[in-house]
Copies of this chain bind each other. A is one copy, B any other.
Amino acid sequence: MESAPLYRQLAQHYLHAIETGVLKPGDRVPSVRTLMELHGVSLSTALQACRQMESDGLLEARPRSGYFVRHRRHKPLAPIEEPVATLPDPAQYVGIHERISAITARGHQQPVAVNFAGACGAPALYPAQGLRNAAARALRLHPQLFGSAADSGGHPAFRAVLARNALLSRITVAPEDILVTHGCTEALNLALRAVAQPGDVIAVESPTYYGLLQILESLGMRALEIPSSPQTGISLEALELAAQTYDNIRAVVVVPNLQNPLGSIMPDANKAQLVAWCDARAIALIEDDCFSALAEGDAPLAALKAWDRSGGVIHCASLHKILAPGMRLGWIAAGKWQARVEMLKYSQSRPNELLAQMAAAEFMGSGAFERHLRRLREQLRSQRAQVAQAIAAEFPAGTRASNPNGGLHLWVELPGSVPSEAVFDQAMAAGIRVVPGVMFSNSNRFDHFLRLNCGTPFTLEIERALRTLAAVVARLADKP
């Protein structure tokens, strides 16, 4: 992994100066010419650095005067607090899907002008044309493609490129041990069905992705929610406590990298410890690793499976958030459960059709994939920063937010226990969709949280919508 480009390093330098108060709001930053001389960089690098800081909302350009540090109306957002590693709630699941389904249904009753509820980025963030061209080529080269059924677990070229890519996450897996699925959702279904039965207890992060709660409920399994840190993910202490109380935990499901909704990233030491912990107890460890390509930083993040020695880790991932929201391409490497997962996939939906796999294989096999990811990470970084800044500026005091090192989402804690479902309803009335915190737990612990998607380029419309949302929150916060 290459280090950050020069202009980013330069911007970072001045960001640090602003954060530490060396440069104060209203201060003029050195001119482009001075930057060139001071740092020995080219005109274009100096310009790019300034423009990035401007698009991140740190600087404002004043015509014929140069760049100035912007005034912030509020202090930077406080981070989300660490959870207390207490015992989880007793395993329960009744009604979660009704709650989720009801809110989802209400969310789709009318079109919205601004959608902060999406699971991936705006279409413009993805290389749809490049994928389209690759698909068109595959159709030209294989005119008989729709005439015969795929008869294996995935297209060889696609599995090969996935196996090569897995090396970046420090996973060594043979192409034929990767089973292509209809998205990560199907992969998670297969993983859970392979290792657990209806009635079994599954440990999950808290808060966790509501899709997982819905899957567990639909399979008749019970979610045991383990407190999780906005910085380091699932609390291993809380998991140990839970295991002492519940002796029937069958599997642990976690998102180790850029957890949804927290954005946390498990440190390598925690990853190693969790794998060993599960292995020692013969508890299956299922990882949902859909976001890791969206993490910033110098080195790609390792998957839990990197520490797997006994085949007890099931790795699930997809292209949905990182490459192609319009393709249902996921995969699973299920270790010692691979044969059972293959049987379940065959009996649940048969092998995936080939066209999307062929197109994705071509694109991912080219340099365009890494270029796309680099651009995507940069866009998301800038968009997250702008949304966070707008929240800091507009939301009532006491609002907190996550500050993830990558990804699509911000996890926002509202002040004064503002009920997120009321925010959801009033925002919908104003043409704005958000995901209320109630969706992320079977408990009421996150009722005053919101998940905001930052996948859409920051426009005046987005800025206005955040102001409207802030007003909704403020109104509800003022209520006795």
Chain A residues with CB under 8 Å of chain B are 97, 101, 108, 119-120, 123-126, 128-129, 131-132, 135-136, 139-140, 143-151, 182-183, 185-186, 189, 193, 197-198, 211, 214-215, 217-218, 220, 320, 324-328, 343-344, 346-350, 352-356, 359
Docked Cα-Cα span, A124 to B146, in Å, equals: 11
Docked Cα-Cα span, A186 to B193, in Å, equals: 15
State whether B220 touches A347 (Cβ < 8 A).
Answer: no
State whether B148 touches A348 (Cβ < 8 A).
Answer: no
A108 CB contacts on chain B under 8 angstroms: 151
State whether B189 touches A150 (Cβ < 8 A).
Answer: no
State whether B211 touches A347 (Cβ < 8 A).
Answer: yes
Docked Cα-Cα span, A346 to B147, in Å, equals: 28
A220 CB contacts on chain B under 8 angstroms: 197-198
Docked Cα-Cα span, A123 to B135, in Å, equals: 20
CB of A210 to closest CB in B, whole Å: 10
Given A123-B148, A215-B347, A327-B353, 12 further pairs, Cβ under 8 A:
A108-B151, A128-B143, A128-B147, A145-B326, A147-B325, A150-B326, A182-B182, A182-B352, A189-B349, A214-B343, A218-B344, A326-B353
Docked Cα-Cα span, A189 to B128, in Å, equals: 32
A197 CB contacts on chain B under 8 angstroms: 198, 220
Q: Which residue of chain B has its CB nearest to the CB of A101?
A: B343
Which 5 residue pairs of A and B lie closest in terms of their CB atoms, listed nearest first? Answer: A128-B147, A123-B147, A146-B326, A182-B349, A149-B325
Q: Which residue of chain B has its CB nearest to the CB of A140?
A: B136
CB of A464 to closest CB in B, whole Å: 23
State whether A328 touches B350 (Cβ < 8 A).
Answer: yes
Docked Cα-Cα span, A349 to B320, in Å, equals: 12
Docked Cα-Cα span, A205 to B324, in Å, equals: 42
State whether A349 touches B324 (Cβ < 8 A).
Answer: no
CB of A139 to closest CB in B, whole Å: 5
A183 CB contacts on chain B under 8 angstroms: 349-350
State whether A146 touches B119 (Cβ < 8 A).
Answer: no
A139 CB contacts on chain B under 8 angstroms: 132, 135-136, 139
Docked Cα-Cα span, A390 to B108, in Å, equals: 59
State whether B348 touches A328 (Cβ < 8 A).
Answer: no
State whether A349 touches B97 (Cβ < 8 A).
Answer: no
A327 CB contacts on chain B under 8 angstroms: 146, 353
State whether B348 touches A186 (Cβ < 8 A).
Answer: yes
A326 CB contacts on chain B under 8 angstroms: 145-150, 353-354
A343 CB contacts on chain B under 8 angstroms: 97, 101, 214, 218
Docked Cα-Cα span, A214 to B132, in Å, equals: 37
A215 CB contacts on chain B under 8 angstroms: 347-348
State whether A214 touches B347 (Cβ < 8 A).
Answer: yes
State whether B97 touches A347 (Cβ < 8 A).
Answer: yes
CB of A184 to closest CB in B, whole Å: 9
A214 CB contacts on chain B under 8 angstroms: 343, 346-347
CB of A102 to closest CB in B, whole Å: 11
Contact A218:B348 (CB < 8 A) given known A139-B136, A327-B353: yes
CB of A332 to closest CB in B, whole Å: 13
Docked Cα-Cα span, A23 to B356, in Å, equals: 56
